[in-house]
Amino acid sequence: MSQEKVEIYSTKKGIIAVDSPVKNRILQKLQERELSFEELIRVCGKAKSTMSVHLNDLLKMGLIYKRVDPVDRRKKYFGINSDLIVSSSPPVTLHYIKILNTVPSFKGDKYGFLRSLFHLIRCGMESYGIDTRPALKKIGHDVGSMLAPSFKSSKLPDLLNEVAAFWKEQGLGKVHAEMGVFPTIIVEDCFDCGTLPDVGRTECSLDEGILEAIIEERLKVKCSVDEIECHGTGHDHCKFEVKIF
């Protein structure tokens, strides 16, 4: 697994991931404007032979185009022929590599292996710049809708106590709720993000969706559940705020 920054482009040939620092530098500069061969050498600081190899690779992949100066045919210009879709996130990439290296240690530990696999898939996608949070929240909402009939309470405090018991039984974490103007749900030892380093954003979108759907289905209300603190924001717990409309 490369630790270099990965950028993913859409081309006529399909989706292409680029992890070469030199190639990404070339593509970055060509997004600004068309450049000549000589200009690319200057901005990338590489020898002519090295630049030729990288440009030929990018041409073959369909990421860039080349045109000849109509006045001076010895002069070549290059431009971008693709669209940048996503760019990797270094903190998540490093965490992805860390998890990947620990996978063999979970041999024989079904729970540990499945947990690492779940984290690996999510962090792997995010390491390539794909924001999984919107889709995970929608999936979580679907899951919550299926689980809601198994809960009995029709009042929020009682329902959150049921949720706490469910979370504990399923190994998702230790939950307690605090009632206030906006009730909050606090999760310790969170299955979803418990091993995540500070990546500067909340990560428990799946939990947001599950909680939101359970509350809506059981209480017959519209609500939003938003994570406001997370291991991903440097906290030692997850905290969700519940707003009922």
DSSP string across 183-241: -EEEEES-TTTTT----SS---HHHHHHHHHHHHHHHT--EEEEEEE-GGGT-SSEEEE
Taking 60 as the threshold, does the pLDDT of residue 48 lie above it? Answer: yes
CATH fold for the domain made of 7-87: Arc Repressor Mutant, subunit A (1.10.10)
Q: How far apart are CA 174 and CA 130, in angstroms?
A: 29
Pick the CATH number of 132-244 from 3.40.367.20, 3.30.1380.20, 1.20.58.340, 3.40.120.10: 3.30.1380.20
- pTM, two decimals, is 0.69
Q: How far apart are CA 143 and CA 208, in angstroms?
A: 11
Taking 60 as the threshold, does the pLDDT of residue 39 lie above it? Answer: yes
Taking 80 as the threshold, does the pLDDT of residue 87 lie above it? Answer: no
Tokens 């270099």 correspond to: 4
* DSSP state string for 219-233: HT--EEEEEEE-GGG
Distances (CA, A) of 13 to 16, 18, 28, 80, 81: 8, 14, 20, 14, 11
Extract the tokens encoding 42.
């200057």
Q: Which of 64-73, 105-114, 163-172 has the lowest mean pLDDT?
A: 105-114
Residue 89: pLDDT band by 50, 70, 90 thresholds?
Answer: low
Taking 90 as the threshold, does the pLDDT of residue 243 lie above it? Answer: yes
Q: How large is the average pLDDT for residues 161-187?
A: 94
Q: How far apart are CA 213 and CA 105, in angstroms?
A: 36
Q: How far apart are CA 129 and CA 88, in angstroms?
A: 4
- Answer with the residue of higher pLDDT: 7 or 152: 152
Computed over every residue of the chain, the mean pLDDT equals 89
Q: What percentage of the chain exceeds 90 in pLDDT?
A: 57
Domain ranges of the chain: 7-87, 89-130, 132-244
Q: How far apart are CA 174 and CA 188, in angstroms?
A: 5
Q: How far apart are CA 80 and CA 163, in angstroms?
A: 52
CB 24 within 8 A of CB 7: yes
CB 241 within 8 A of CB 204: no
